[in-house]
């Protein structure tokens, strides 16, 4: 949606996110599945965001009309330098509008980059000059940030890139390696915002006018008002900046809604107490963690305000009640694998890794009901998640390829041990075991009864707080 169209959205509201992590993304996806077409705005400094999610800073850095801002027109020397830079980047294979790979960052002559699947480094001969960090995206080795180091190895500034490959901001550090300020650029590389981390204020040059804002809240309020969003209903996920902004804007008659996404704690936060006393524009607190909701209610939070409310997940397929079981791992430390495989000869076990497999794990390939996939490709993982109907979260190492969540979205029944669970959110308590005997017994029983399998899939969806898109539509409609 173009910024100029936002004031035409009637009754949709605004989804205001403190920062964009997995939970925030799940909330945005739930809104979109319900047909929400209002703006989704992130108030943190992160602007490396997916399509449809907008950064406050990027919004504030752009002109609403053609600008006479004095820095908008490049001098001849600046144009020449930009042309040279653009030529070098094109020669490196970068196309504007696409994410930059690690080898598409501008470097001085004779500097070089080394990289692996997790990060990269910049060297001047054998002297470390920079560190490259990748974006949280399925595309591999797309750059989000580059730290540039001085002679002593201290970070002096960090370049920030978006998923379209644009350098959108630069953070400057002092001699002690502490953040001092950050400059934000428009799509013509002109500096538009300078945020001072010492004083907290921001200087914004926009539409030919330079203004000072005392803090991020002031900037957000001014930006939303400038976009015609005053008086819209605010849906938000944090008691920090999103709450502060929602209180400064005119209140919608239906009241605002807080989606509380934090884990359980032993007290009710002070800002939430204000909401519960009725001294806020917020009229509902929807808690997206079951344990957190139970704790808040046990601490005296009113059920008139607080209730559990989960996510509208995008399930990709139904469970076919087949024979195929999936395990994803990058280590050979798989709890009770031999016992489980031996006890269930009528089920096929598929074990996949993105790395090579050790001899210990490769030895399982001799079992007639085991298939091994070392150095599995993305296409192989995608096929396995489609073909398998059971997922065992039993590897002791770290989770790979977001396997538990992908298993959940493919309606695989997930079982695990209490000491191996990677994402308990997606696993029903009835499917967590202390030993292999209980797991084998349940697998054997559910494998022979589709009705029981459907019942347990329902338990799994309930544990993950699954909501329907219709529930979100009712919420968006003020009910």
Q: In the structure encoding, which two tokens stand for residue 37, read together?
A: 């077409």
Instruction: Return the DSSP state at 358.
Output: -
Query: Using one digit for the tens of pLDDT, what is the confidence trace for 395-453?
Result: 999 999 999 999 999 999 999 999 999 999 999 999 999 999 999 999 999 999 999 99
pTM: 0.88
pLDDT of residue 302: 95
Give the C-alpha separation, 147 to 161, whole Å: 12
Query: pLDDT over 70 for what percent of the chain?
Result: 91
- pLDDT of 72 higher than 70: no
Q: In the structure encoding, which two tokens stand for residue 179, read together?
A: 């953040």
Q: Tell me how far CA of residue 363 lies from CA of 338, 352, 366, in angstroms.
A: 11, 14, 6
Burial 429-463 (b: 16+ CB within 10 A, else e): eebbbeebeebbebbeebbeeeeebeebbeebbeb
pLDDT, mean of residues 465-471: 98
pLDDT band at 344 (very low <50, low <70, confident <90, very high): very high
Whose CA is closest to 466, among 263, 307, 313? Answer: 313
Give the C-alpha separation, 173 to 182, whole Å: 9
Give the C-alpha separation, 450 to 446, whole Å: 7
Give the C-alpha separation, 124 to 126, whole Å: 6
pLDDT band at 81 (very low <50, low <70, confident <90, very high): very low
Q: How far is CA 283 from the centre of its chain?
A: 27
- pLDDT of 77 higher than 60: no
- pLDDT of 87 higher than 50: no
pLDDT, mean of residues 303-316: 97
pLDDT of residue 12: 86
pLDDT, mean of residues 223-229: 94
Query: Using one digit for the tens of pLDDT, what is the confidence trace for 149-205?
Result: 999 999 999 999 999 999 999 999 999 899 999 999 988 889 999 999 999 999 999
pLDDT of residue 2: 44
Contacts for 350 with CB less than 8 Å, ≥ 6 apart: 324, 325, 326, 327, 371, 373, 384, 387, 388
pLDDT band at 96 (very low <50, low <70, confident <90, very high): confident
- pLDDT of 211 higher than 80: yes
Query: Using one digit for the tens of pLDDT, what is the confidence trace for 48-62?
Result: 898 999 999 999 987
pLDDT of residue 478: 73
pLDDT of residue 13: 95
The structural domains of the chain, ordered by start, are 3-37+216-308 (3.40.50), 76-189 (no CATH), 324-463 (3.40.50.2000)
């Amino acid at each position: 949606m173009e910024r100029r169209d936002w004031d035409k959205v009637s009754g949709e509201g605004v989804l205001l996110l403190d920062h964009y992590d997995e939970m925030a993304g799940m909330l945005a996806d739930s809104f979109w599945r319900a047909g929400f077409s209002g703006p989704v705005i992130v108030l943190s400094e992160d602007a490396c965001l997916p399509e449809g999610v907008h950064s406050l800073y990027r919004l504030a850095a752009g002109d609403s009309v053609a600008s006479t801002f004095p820095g908008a027109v490049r001098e001849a020397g600046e144009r020449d330098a930009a042309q040279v830079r653009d030529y070098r980047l094109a020669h490196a294979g970068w196309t504007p509008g696409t994410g930059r790979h690690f080898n598409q960052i501008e470097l001085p002559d004779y500097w070089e980059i080394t990289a692996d699947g997790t990060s990269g480094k910049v060297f001047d001969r054998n002297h470390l000059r920079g560190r490259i960090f990748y974006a949280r995206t399925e595309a591999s080795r797309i750059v989000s940030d580059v730290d540039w180091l001085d002679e002593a190895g201290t970070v002096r500034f960090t370049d920030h890139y978006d998923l379209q490959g644009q350098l959108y901001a630069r953070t400057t550090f002092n001699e002690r390696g502490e953040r001092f300020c950050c400059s934000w650029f428009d799509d013509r590389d002109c500096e538009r915002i300078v945020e001072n981390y010492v004083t907290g204020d921001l200087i914004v040059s926009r539409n030919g006018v330079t203004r000072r804002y005392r803090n991020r809240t002031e900037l957000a309020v001014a930006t939303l008002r400038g976009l015609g969003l005053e008086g819209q209903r605010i849906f938000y996920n944090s008691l920090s900046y999103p709450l502060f902004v929602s209180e400064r804007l005119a209140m919608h008659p239906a009241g605002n809604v807080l989606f509380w996404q934090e884990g359980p704690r032993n007290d009710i936060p002070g800002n939430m107490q204000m909401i519960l006393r009725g001294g806020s524009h917020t009229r509902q607190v929807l808690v997206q963690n079951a344990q957190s909701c139970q704790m808040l209610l046990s601490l005296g939070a009113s059920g008139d305000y607080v209730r559990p409310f989960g996510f509208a997940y995008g399930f990709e397929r139904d469970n076919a009640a087949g024979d195929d079981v999936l395990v994803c791992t990058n280590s050979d430390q798989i709890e009770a694998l031999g016992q489980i495989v031996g006890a269930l000869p009528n089920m096929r076990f598929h074990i996949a890794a993105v790395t090579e497999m050790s001899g210990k794990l490769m030895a399982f390939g001799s079992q007639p009901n085991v298939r091994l996939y070392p150095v599995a490709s993305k296409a192989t993982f995608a096929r396995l998640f489609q073909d398998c109907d059971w997922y065992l979260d039993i590897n002791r190492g770290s989770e790979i390829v977001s396997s538990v969540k992908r298993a959940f979205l493919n309606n695989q029944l997930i079982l695990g041990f209490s000491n191996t669970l990677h994402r308990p959110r997606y696993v029903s308590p009835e499917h967590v075991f202390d030993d292999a005997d209980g797991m084998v017994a349940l697998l054997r029983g559910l494998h022979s009864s589709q009705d029981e399998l459907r019942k347990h899939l329902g338990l799994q969806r309930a544990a993950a707080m699954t909501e329907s898109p219709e529930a979100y539509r009712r919420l968006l409609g003020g009910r």
